[in-house]
Amino acid sequence: MEKEQLSRDSFFSVGFDLITLEENLTYDLYINSSTRENCERFVRIFPKDGRLQQEDVETFRDKYHQLYVLESQRAEYLQSLVKNENFSDIQKTEVIKDSAIGYLHKIFDPTKEFTTDILGETLVGCRDSVEYMIDVLEDYAINEVQDLIGDLSFHDFYTYDHSINVSMYCISLFKAIKPGAKREELVLAGLGGLLHDLGKIKIPTTIINNPGKLSDEDFDMIKKHPGFGGELLDEKAHCCEGVDFEIIRRVIMEHHENYNGTGYPLKMEGKDIHVLARVCAIADFFDAITTKRSYHEVLSTEDALAVMSKSVGRKIDPKIFEIFCENVNQLGLQGKLRVELPDSFDPCQPQNVLPLIAPNIKKQAEDIFKDEGQSEFGKVKGDSLFGNKKKAS
C-alpha cells in the first residue's frame, strides 16, 4: 500500500459498480483511511495496471465506505468507463454529467474567487466531457437522447443540468443535420451547448434562479449574459488545442438572437446567425419545456413541438426545426395545445409556470431555404453558405 498526503480536491469519488473488471486498470484506486471528521488521509489500495475480479470489489464494498480516483486520472477513468460494454449508457452518462457539473461548479460557485486559470481548467474539462458524450451518444437519435435525459438525476442549480442537456441535444441535432459530421464539428456543437450560458457567472444567482416573472431591470441584466460570456471566453480562448473558440464564442454570443432579428444582444437575423447558434437555440428551447424540473410541469414531446412550431421563422430557424421534428418522429405536429410562448420567453430561466399564450397567427414564408443545398447544410465554417460574415463582438 502506498500512503500519500493529498487533499480531497485531488480526488473524485467513484461507485463500486463502476469499476472496470478483468482487464488492466488505467487508474489507481484510493480510500480515505481517516476516521476523524473533516480529516482526510488517502491511501492507495489498488494500483494502476492491476486486474480486479468481482470478488475483489465486493471485498472493498464490505471494508470501505467510498472509493476514490486521482483527479489527474479522471480522463483515464472516463475513457475506460465509456468503452466498457458492461456499463449502461445511463450509468456512463451520469458519470460524464457529474464530471461536467464539477467543472461548471468551479466557475459558477459564488463562494470561490473566479480566476482565468479556473476558467481555463474548466474549458479543458468541458471539452473532455463533450468528447465522452459524443462516444456515448454515437447511435442516438434526438428522441432517444430525450429518453436518456429523462432517466438522469437533476440538481438544484438549473443552469448545470440545462447546459448539459442542451449540449447533448446539440450533438444529436447536428448529427441529424449533417450525417457523417467530423468529430471536431460535433465537439464544437456539444461544447457550444455546454458553454452557451457561460456569461451567467457574472449575473447574480438571485436573478438566475428566480422562477417567477423577472422585473424589467432584472431581465435587462439577463440579456447581458451573451456579451459577458464572449468577454470571458476571450480571456482564455487559447487554452484548448484543436478547438475553434471563435465558433464557440459565436454560439455564446448568438444563441438568443431570433431568426427574425428581434433577439439580443445584436439583433442578428436569419443566416447571419451561426448555424451552431441556431442549433443551440432549438436545443435550448426544447429542453426548457420538456425536461422535468421542480419549478414547473413539462409538456409532452408532441405538445412541445406544437408550441415551438408557433415560433418558427420568428425565434427559430425553419429548416433546422423541420429536421429536428423529423428526427423525433413527430412530423404532423398535432399536439393538443393551440398556444405558444411569447418572444420574450427565455429558455435559460427556470419558470414556475410556462407563460403560454394564445397564438398570433402569421403566414410563414415558403421555400425559405431554396438557396441552401442539403448536402452542405450542416457545414460549420460555411460562412459563404450561411451568410455568417458578421462577427459578434
Q: What DSSP line would sit under 146-171, residue for residue?
A: HHHHHHS---S-HHHHHHHHHHHHHH
pLDDT number for residue 370: 42
Q: Are 14 and 84 in contact (CB under 8 A)?
A: no
- Non-local CB neighbours of 360 within 8 Å, separated by 6+ positions: 340
CB burial of residue 110 (10 Å; 0-12, 13-18, 19+): exposed
pLDDT number for residue 366: 34
pLDDT number for residue 39: 72
CB burial of residue 41 (10 Å; 0-12, 13-18, 19+): middle
**325 alpha carbon, distance to own chain's centre:** 20
Provide the total of helices (H) and of strands (E) in the chain, helices listed first: 15, 5
Whole-model pTM over 0.75: yes
Q: Which domains does the chain have, with CATH numbers?
A: 1-73 (no CATH), 88-363 (1.10.3210.10)
The C-alpha cell 488505467 sits at 26
pLDDT number for residue 371: 41
pLDDT number for residue 158: 79
Q: Tens-of-pLDDT digits for all 393 residues of the chain?
A: 444 556 777 899 999 999 999 999 999 999 998 877 667 789 999 999 999 999 999 999 999 999 999 999 999 999 999 999 999 999 999 999 999 999 999 888 878 788 888 888 899 999 999 999 999 999 999 999 999 998 988 776 778 999 999 999 999 999 999 999 999 999 999 999 999 999 999 998 888 878 778 899 999 999 999 999 999 988 776 677 778 999 999 999 999 999 999 999 999 999 999 999 999 999 999 998 998 765 567 888 989 999 999 999 999 999 999 999 988 864 334 444 455 666 666 665 656 566 665 554 333 333 333 443 433 444 444 333 333 444 444
How many angstroms separate the CA atoms of 327 and 320, rounded?
11
